[in-house]
């Protein structure tokens, strides 16, 4: 089965089991998701849900906003029904569940890619304020978010054994190589025609920044979730996540990050112009 068909199959499967509440908010039910993810018994699925709850908490979000314990009427045979405990899940919760599921299951592996893409899409689509921003404003917003997440990534990398400045530079290069088809930070810097003092992240458009934000957040999460230890394993993890993000862009028909245009103004110039404008008000 091709990657495109796998993506389409899981899109139909996961979105086909969505429910909507009275306010039109989408949600999934844990018992149904367990069957789709090929867990033979619901009790075997519950530890995965609990790991996902913890991952939600670790990400700085409130678990109860994404995992709601409920009682659901379930058919138990011969037309009889009774209430059984279930969990109402947000899209983000489903994403965390497949991230924490059994990776030996092909449906889990394919589901990881699907929910990673769809969750990020939904987050951006739901943010009407973000949608109304200009390109420069989007760049500023994503760049600031990336700066924060790079701190989390650096901390996770340090826990894995990436300690010195040189170690971290090599670690970062592995992520770029995966995302940019083999290009290192120096290669990207040269391709953009930047001066030595200029930072490549300050010379990316919103689409390129978003790809790098996704690379950073997913690497940080995987390093912690899989308890990666050792510089070589950390580097390889960063490379593999970057490569997976690149593969996802390709599957969606997007432009490869190295082929995206370099904006005329840097983030620093945009920030400077913004400060001047605010002083005039």
Q: Provide the β-strand partners of residue 75.
A: 81
pLDDT band at 55 (very low <50, low <70, confident <90, very high): confident
Quick one: which H or E segment has residue 260? none
Q: Which two tokens stand for residue 279?
A: 């002083």
Give backbone dihedrals phi and psi of 28, rounded to 5 degrees, phi first.
-120, 160
Length of the chain: 281
Q: For 149-166, how does the pLDDT look when each residue is reduced to its tens digit (9 = 90+)?
A: 899 899 999 999 999 999
How far apart are the C-alpha atoms of 146 and 213, rounded to whole Å? 5
pLDDT tens digits, residue range 202-221?
999 999 999 999 999 999 98
**In this structure, are residues 188 and 200 in contact, taking their beta carbons and an 8 Å threshold?**
yes
Please check the confidence at residue 11 and state whether its pLDDT lies above 60.
no
Q: How many other C-beta atoms can be found within 10 angstroms of the C-beta atom of residue 259? A: 11
Q: What residue spans define the domains of the chain?
A: 3-99, 135-273
Q: What is the pLDDT of residues 217-247, one digit of tens each?
A: 999 989 988 899 999 999 999 999 999 999 9
Average pLDDT over residues 119-146: 76
How far apart are the C-alpha atoms of 217 and 175, rounded to whole Å? 12
- Two tokens, residue 239: 């490379």
Strand order in the sheet with 26-29: 19-20, 26-29, 80-89, 67-77
> What backbone phi and psi angles, to 5 degrees, belong to 262?
-90, 125
For 31-40, what is the mean pLDDT?
88
Structure tokens that stand for 111 in this block: 């589901």
Which of 16-20, 111-115, 161-165 has the lowest average pLDDT?
111-115
Range 200-203 contact pairs with CB under 8 angstroms and sequence separation of 24 or more: 201/143, 201/146, 201/267, 202/143, 202/266, 202/267, 202/268, 203/262, 203/263, 203/266, 203/267
Q: Are 153 and 234 in contact (CB under 8 A)?
A: no
CA distances, 252 to each of 127, 176, 259 (Å): 21, 20, 15
What local confidence, expressed as pLDDT, does residue 251 receive? 86
Read off the tokens for 52: 């996902």
90 contacts 82 by C-beta, under 8 angstroms: no
Q: Tens of pLDDT along 168-197?
A: 999 999 999 999 999 999 999 999 999 999
* Average pLDDT across the chain, whole number: 85
C-alpha 60/C-alpha 56 separation (Å) is 7
Could you tell me the pLDDT band of residue 13, with boundaries at 50, 70 and 90?
A: low
């Amino acid at each position: 089965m091709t990657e495109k068909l796998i993506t389409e199959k899981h899109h139909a499967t996961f979105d086909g089991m969505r429910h909507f509440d009275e306010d039109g908010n989408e949600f999934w039910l844990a018992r149904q998701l367990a069957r789709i993810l090929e867990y033979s018994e619901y009790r075997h699925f519950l530890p995965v849900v609990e790991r996902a709850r913890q991952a939600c908490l670790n990400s700085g979000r409130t678990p109860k906003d994404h995992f709601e314990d409920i009682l659901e009427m379930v058919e138990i045979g011969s037309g009889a029904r009774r209430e059984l405990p279930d969990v109402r899940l947000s899209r983000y919760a489903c994403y965390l569940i497949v991230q924490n599921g059994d990776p030996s299951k092909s449906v889990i592996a394919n589901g990881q890619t699907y929910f990673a893409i769809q969750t990020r899409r939904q987050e951006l689509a739901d943010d009407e304020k973000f949608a109304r921003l200009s390109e420069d404003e989007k760049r500023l917003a994503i760049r600031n978010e990336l700066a924060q997440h790079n701190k989390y990534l650096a901390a996770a990398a340090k826990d894995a054994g990436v300690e010195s400045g040189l170690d971290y530079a090599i670690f970062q290069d592995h992520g770029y190589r995966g995302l940019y088809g083999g290009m290192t930070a120096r290669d990207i810097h040269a391709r953009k025609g930047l001066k030595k003092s200029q930072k490549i992240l300050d010379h990316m458009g919103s689409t390129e920044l978003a790809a790098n934000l996704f690379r950073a957040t997913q690497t940080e999460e995987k390093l912690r979730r899989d308890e990666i230890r050792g510089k070589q394993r950390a580097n390889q993890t960063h490379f593999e996540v970057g490569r997976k993000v690149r593969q996802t862009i390709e599957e969606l028909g997007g432009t490869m990050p190295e082929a995206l245009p370099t904006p005329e103004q840097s983030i620093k110039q945009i920030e400077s112009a913004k400060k001047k404008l605010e002083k005039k008000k």
